[in-house]
Structure 1
Amino acid sequence: MDSPCQFHSFWYNPLMSWNAILNPIKLLFRLNEISSKLSGLETEVVKLRVEMGALAKRVDKLEDVTGDINRHINPPDKTEPLPKYLHAKNLLSDKDFVQTVSAVQAV
């Protein structure tokens, strides 16, 4: 049988019993909050990965353009045509174009 001391401690300290009931409930709410924050972080990680992929494509494109310019400046043979997206040659003579590209590379 319960000792009178235990019985009286329950009735004289009701907050103790309520905390024993409420703490697990509070913990569940806190875990739910943490879970939703982690879900939001996961969404942000996916967005960053998509942005990194787009940036990698842009870097690849810039490397292709740089390679095309370098091949035009120092082509293995002079018959290689300039790519269509490099229209600056149409505005300048070959000598002016090479000087312009060299000046840009020097900077």
Structure 2
Amino acid sequence: MNIIKGAMIGLICTVVLYMLPLINALSPFFGGFIGGYVAEEGAFGGFKVGVLMSVLAAIPGFMLSGALAVLLADVPVLGAILAGSGIIITLAIVSYTAIFGIIGAVVGGAVADKR
């Protein structure tokens, strides 16, 4: 249960920190760190928090990019280009969030374990 709580708190912190200028570049790391620290499950528990946080972040992103692709399906060439680029951009953002979120959650879990 701590892993789910840590992933939700980490995801909320990540989304909030994405809104702040200059901090948004490292927001997945900070969100993952907070989530891993709150879970207090050690480094491997932090890894699980980071993975769950990444999956929870990916779901709405791919749903929105899929909805954009469906809306642009009627436009012959430009619609396909925009829909494809939307999915690629979503994949890049989700990958960035996953990598740095997992690293931050592992560090946060390890710090909480040493406490």
TM over 0.5: no
TM-score, normalised with respect to structure 2: 0.32
Which structure's residues are more often helix, by fraction? 2
When Rg is computed on C-alpha atoms for both structures, the one with the higher figure is 1
TM-score, normalised with respect to structure 1: 0.34
